[in-house]
């Protein structure tokens, strides 16, 4: 599209469905405009101007204000996703029952864009999958609270009491998620990563032990 800066990304059989989801979520104002698949077979989405935090994360990502916004923004996209009537199959990974909403699937700081302290977009939607709300909230809590052991290379070095308080804050931002349920989902997500072929599997395994101790 003329005049729109674009990003080209790897695509897969799930890309048309992911773009249907992104299109359906556009009214939230929190999702880049999907622009189809290019001649080169890659996915095209509109570029979202702003700051996309990369690891090691800048300190502002760890503010309570940012965390609360992650909760409230995620609630908006989840609620909108539930109205779209999208199919349960055709995603990159199988639906996770009971599929209450379509989850983003990878809610981490490097998949968000911010402007002037405001969360303006979740990007990188190709892990989207129908799942319970906790599937996203658990992973968001792991990454953004963060629910990580002392000395973790990608975490906020915070005592357990602060991790619990920040978990509550994320849940409050979401508008009333159950912190214990979110913690169970964090364990589920991180244990799945520990069992995957990720090069960071050993790190995830240690994090899962920490999560189970919380
Ligand atoms: N729509 C977008 N608007 C602005 N920046 C983007 C957008 N899409 C990607 N980016 C930037 O490019 C970086 C890489 O994006 P992308 O998600 O495509 O790759 P990736 O994160 O390496 O892939 P994956 O997470 O699937 O391994 C993002 O972290 C972000 O900085
Ligand atoms: Mg990404």
Three-class secondary structure assignment of 166-200? HHHHHHHHHCCCCHHHHHHHHHHHHHHHHCCCCCC
Of 7, 54, 107, the one to substitute when testing ligand 1's pocket (max ligand atoms within 8 A of C-beta) is 7
Give residue 3's pLDDT. Answer: 74
Class (C level, CATH) for 59-213: mainly alpha
- Starting from the CA of residue 55, give the closest ligand: 1
Protein residues placing their CB within 5 Å of the ion ligand 2: 111, 124
Distance 7 CA to ligand 1 centre (A): 8
**Greatest alpha-carbon span in the chain:** 53
Distance 3 CA to ligand 1 centre (A): 20
Asked if residue 55 has its Cβ within 6 Å of ligand 1, the reply is no
Strands 112-115 and 118-122: antiparallel
Asked if residue 32 has its Cβ within 6 Å of ligand 1, the reply is yes
The residue ranges of the chain whose pLDDT is under 70 are 1-2
Asked if residue 140 has its Cβ within 6 Å of ligand 1, the reply is no
Give residue 153's pLDDT. Answer: 95
Cβ neighbours of residue 40 closer than 8 Å, sequence gap 6 or more: 8
Distance 110 CA to ligand 2 centre (A): 6
Q: By alpha-carbon position, which residue is closest to atom 27 of ligand 1?
A: 124
Domain boundaries, the chain: 6-46, 59-213
Asked if residue 47 has its Cβ within 6 Å of ligand 1, the reply is yes
Task: State in Å, rounded, how far the first CA of the chain is from the last one.
Answer: 49
131 forms bridges with which residues in the sheet? 101
Distance 112 CA to ligand 1 centre (A): 9
Q: In residues, how long is the chain?
A: 214
pTM over 0.95: yes
């Amino acid at each position: 599209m003329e005049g729109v800066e674009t990003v080209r990304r790897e695509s897969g059989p799930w890309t048309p469905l992911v773009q249907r989801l992104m299109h359906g979520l556009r009214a939230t104002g929190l999702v880049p405009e999907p622009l189809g698949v290019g001649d080169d077979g890659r996915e095209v989405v509109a570029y979202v101007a702003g700051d996309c935090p990369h690891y090691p994360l800048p300190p502002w990502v760890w503010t309570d204000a940012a965390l609360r916004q992650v909760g409230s923004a995620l609630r908006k996209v989840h609620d909108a996703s539930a109205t779209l009537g999208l199919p349960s199959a055709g995603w990159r990974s199988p639906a996770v029952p009971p599929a209450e909403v379509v989850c983003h699937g990878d809610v981490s700081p490097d998949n968000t864009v911010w402007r002037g302290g405001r969360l303006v977009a979740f990007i990188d939607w190709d892990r989207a999958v129908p799942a319970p709300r906790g599937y996203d909230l658990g992973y968001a809590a792991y990454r953004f609270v963060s629910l990580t052991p002392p000395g973790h290379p990608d975490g906020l070095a915070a005592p357990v009491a602060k991790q619990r308080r920040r978990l509550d804050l994320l849940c409050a931002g979401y508008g009333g998620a159950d912190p214990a349920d979110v913690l169970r989902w964090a364990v589920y997500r991180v244990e799945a990563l520990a069992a995957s072929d990720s090069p960071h599997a050993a790190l995830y395994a240690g994090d899962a032990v920490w999560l189970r101790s919380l």
